[in-house]
Amino acid sequence: MATTRDRPARMSNGRRQSGFAADSLRVHGPHWTRRDSTSPWVVCIAFVLILGVLYVASSLFVPLAVSLIAYLTLRPLVARLCRLGLNQVTATAVVILVFFSIAALVTSLLYSPLQSWLAEAPESVNRLREKFDRVAEPLATVDRAEEQLSQATEGVRNEPTEVTVSVKKPSVIDPAYLINQTGHLLAFVGAIGVLTFFMLTNGDDVLNRILNVLPRGGRRESVLETIAEIQNSVGTYLGQITIINAGLGVAVTIVMWAVGMPTPYLWGAMAALFNFVPYLGPIAGTLVVLVAAGTTFDSFGRSLLTAAAFWVTTAVEGQFVTPAILGTTLKVGSLIVLVSVAFWGFMWGMAGVLLSVPLLIVMRQVFASFDETYAIAVVLGEDPCRPGDDCEPLKQDEAIAESV
């Protein structure tokens, strides 16, 4: 006879059978089981404490999170090299070396044009301000007429006091600050590289030790299934989105070259990097291109045309290419993605913004592995009906008023 601690039966494909709503209550007779006796207040307090720890100790958890995502992404490559005859340490070293070599090559190619743009930024901003002033000249004429009229109708005025203002040419980045931040960045990248290396070499051993602690049977299979789903989802997403963004970078480079924008490969690389942040990244990239084009071309209309060309290229990718490739992987609404970007950006800054979507996928897979949290996984994009469930979910584009 089944007890309250028995887990729900599983189908041949590893998913739980129907009836998860009743099973999640864990009610047998008039009494609740001890598993569901936890007070909601205790859960809320624990949740708030966890968020506080993640925020305060961000310098510790950000490298761990980046390394974990890198581990989930690179582990299939290491496993494939191991099947070719390499041992795990050698395969990991090869993958890490190739990855950092590509990153160093891209950085060296972009460093010189980026430094040139930053050095000319103060003068470029002044030129852009002059162009905006010419565009706004009619409004300035009206303001001057209003001021003259006010002076003509004003009575006795005190003599204004002359004030001498000394304007110093601004600097975009302080050299000392740049050196300090470069040191922090190198330390951050080094920590991620070391953590990722040891995760790839020793992660399986740690996982096996954890599994040995768990009882044999359903619990161990559930953990293995969850880890496999997380690795597959995150690895598939990052692999596909990296290929998509690389293609977008090439397309933007060609478009920027066609419109006559200097250093077109710099804007292509920027588009590829910014596109890792859904929705907000292309908007920010368009604004940056608008400012850069405004400081490059004499005509303000040509600057708008350049920014429009950049935006159209990213829009075509976002509306057609990404949905066609990631339609079955990134099953998350735009509102949830924006909330995730805002939340992790507040918690961990720019690193949180870049990690927001991979972390969202990880949380969705973890929540989908338990009956008690499956509803949260549905909100995050999981299928409302699991295999074997008899339900009719609402269409995503169907208005609530029409379905009631």
- Provide the pLDDT for residue 373: 83
DSSP string across 102-162: HHHHHHHHHHHHHHHHHHTHHHHHHHHHHHHHHHTHHHHHHHHHHHHHHHHH----PPPPP
Tens-place pLDDT, residues 364-386: 888 888 778 888 888 888 777 76
- Provide the pLDDT for residue 95: 94
- Provide the pLDDT for residue 234: 83
Between the CA atoms of 128, 303, 283 and 64, what dihedral angle is there, to the nearest 10 degrees? Answer: -70
Average pLDDT value for residue range 176-181: 62
Compute how many other C-beta atoms are within 10 angstroms of the C-beta atom of residue 100: 14
**3-state SS string over 4-32?**
CCCCCCECCCCCECCCHHHHHHCEECCEE
Domain ranges of the chain: 61-131+174-202, 240-327, 331-389
Between CA 313 and CA 127 the distance in angstroms is: 27
Q: Residue 28 pLDDT more than 60?
A: no
Strands 27-28 and 31-32, how do they pair? Answer: antiparallel
- Residue 60: which H helix or E strand, with range? helix 58-83
Compute how many other C-beta atoms are within 10 angstroms of the C-beta atom of residue 97: 11
Token couple for 159: 């003599």
- Single-letter amino acid, residue 62: V
| pLDDT class of 53 with cuts at 50, 70, 90 | very high
Between the CA atoms of 16, 20, 24 and 30, what dihedral angle is there, to the nearest 10 degrees? Answer: -120
Average pLDDT value for residue range 14-38: 43
CA distances from 184 to 1, 179, 188, 191 (A): 60, 9, 6, 10
Q: Residue 404 pLDDT more than 70?
A: no
CA distances from 119 to 112, 219, 260, 274, 285 (A): 11, 59, 21, 22, 20
| pLDDT class of 219 with cuts at 50, 70, 90 | confident
Token couple for 23: 């099973």
Compute how many other C-beta atoms are within 10 angstroms of the C-beta atom of residue 402: 8
CA distances from 133 to 127, 128, 144 (A): 10, 9, 14
- Range of weakest confidence among 83-87, 215-219, 344-348: 215-219
- Provide the pLDDT for residue 324: 82
360 near 336, Cβ under 8 Å? Answer: yes
Higher-pLDDT residue of 232, 55: 55
Between CA 103 and CA 81 the distance in angstroms is: 21
Q: Residue 89 pLDDT more than 70?
A: yes
Between CA 160 and CA 149 the distance in angstroms is: 18
Compute how many other C-beta atoms are within 10 angstroms of the C-beta atom of residue 67: 20
Q: Residue 195 pLDDT more than 90?
A: yes
| pLDDT class of 388 with cuts at 50, 70, 90 | low
Higher-pLDDT residue of 300, 190: 190
DSSP string across 208-238: HHHHHHSPTTHHHHHHHHHHHHHHHHHHHHH
Nearest to 131 by CA among 308, 289, 299, 260: 299
- Range of weakest confidence among 71-85, 232-246, 286-300, 326-340: 326-340
Between the CA atoms of 148, 149, 153 and 155, what dihedral angle is there, to the nearest 10 degrees? Answer: -20
Tens-place pLDDT, residues 279-297: 889 999 999 998 888 888 8
Long-range contacts for 38-43 (Cβ within 8 Å, ≥24 apart)? none
Q: Residue 261 pLDDT more than 90?
A: yes
Q: Residue 300 pLDDT more than 90?
A: no
Average pLDDT value for residue range 190-195: 92
| pLDDT class of 175 with cuts at 50, 70, 90 | low
- Provide the pLDDT for residue 392: 66
| pLDDT class of 298 with cuts at 50, 70, 90 | confident
Tens-place pLDDT, residues 319-349: 888 888 876 566 677 788 889 999 999 999 9
Token couple for 193: 């590289």
CA distances from 239 to 243, 273, 332 (A): 6, 14, 18
Statement: the pTM of the whole predicted model exceeds 0.75: no
- In the chain, % of residues over pLDDT 90: 28
Give the length of the chain: 404
CA angle 214–41–65, rounded 5-degree value:
50
Query: Which are the contacts of 197, defined by CB distance < 8 A and separation ≥ 6?
Result: 92, 93, 96
Which 3 state secondary structure label does DSSP give 327? Answer: coil
- Provide the pLDDT for residue 274: 93
- Provide the pLDDT for residue 236: 82
Between CA 29 and CA 232 the distance in angstroms is: 40
- Range of weakest confidence among 13-27, 240-254, 285-299, 385-399: 13-27
Phi-psi region of 26 (alpha: psi -120 to 50; beta: other; left: phi over 0): left
